[in-house]
Structure 1
Amino acid sequence: MVPEKLYFGPTEYSQGCRILTRCSVRAVVDKIDKLNEEKAWFRVHPQFKHIFHMFKEPNHMNQGFWMLLLQTAHTDRLSECWFVVNGVPIRYSLGEHALLSELDCRDYPVDYNNLGNTKFVEKHFGRADKIKIGDVEEKLNEMKDTSVDRKKMALLWFLCKVVKAKYKTDGTIDTFLLSVVSDLNVCKSIP
């Protein structure tokens, strides 16, 4: 089924665009690679291990992404993105994202808000809310001994910078991430 219109008109095909990404995979992987025990944990993690085995691209270019965005079809479906490439409609939904990213993108468990607790973040930050990404990075840099707490701090930093990335380090971390890192086994099984 051919869409009635595309989001971008033909006049915009020759335009340039600056595409920013909030996700800083290479910097995070490089830092965690320096932490031996944490690196070993991430390299066997069921969802994240492929990220630590990928080739590290020094210049992550988004030209292909821009070319695909120019072909975005205007549809009424909010949970799917459709592109028209050479007249062929292509769907990109959460299922396709799971196939490409190798992340477990199934639904959260019904009681996911009750998973974990905030004891870990309260112990290290003295509070359970309004913790910023920069605070986590600073605390991770201070932790010199290899411990379960440093592994949890590295995981929290990874989740904030890669999985649910925010553009600035002064962004407040989601409360779900703050509580789920308290249990490393839950972090291996949750989507």
Structure 2
Amino acid sequence: MSALWKELLVELNAVGLACIERGRDDAIEYLGLEPFINGFPDAPLAVLASKVGREELTWLGQKGATPQQIADAEERLGFRFPDTYREFLLESNGFLVPGTYCCVLLPVELVRKFGDDNAQIVAMWANAHAKDPLLDIEDVTYRMGDAIQVTAEPSDYDWFVLFDPINASPKGEPWTVMYSRQGYDCEETFLDLIQELVSSYQASFRR
């Protein structure tokens, strides 16, 4: 599987660099990186993000996480990461894809529970479930605070990539959820999400 991820990350990197080039005349906030840079200025990935648009970059990833770093994060969160996400982390401990709906794939030490920084959204869903008993308690929104957030919040919209803390997909991994104000979509694996991101932006570049 590592060979697949190596190839996919080369393609993801190309998408990120193409988005940077397309947005070269835009302010950095339009690439969705500013909240991450300001929130975690000492993180190596944030230092790299601060160079976007200012220096010529060739690689938007990081050195892979160690198995111990992954295990420490899983213990901290009380959650075992999906296999395809663990494989990604071993190849690159976080990744920048500026100007896309996954602008910053967080390094494992910054992965957090969604409720840690998004109490208002969690409360909104708790209130919705309290008022409407027909809402499915198996839905990811029922335990929104415990969902695992693996992307940083971009500056101009609130797309988040989350792992469902309740349910597994038919492929045996926790559902990978793309959540926004408009609702959410799910992919069966984290790998599926990244493949979809790459293919959708590659298609947009050809138009």
Query: Scaled by the length of structure 2, what TM-score is found?
Result: 0.26
Higher relative contact order (CA 8 A, sep 6+): 1
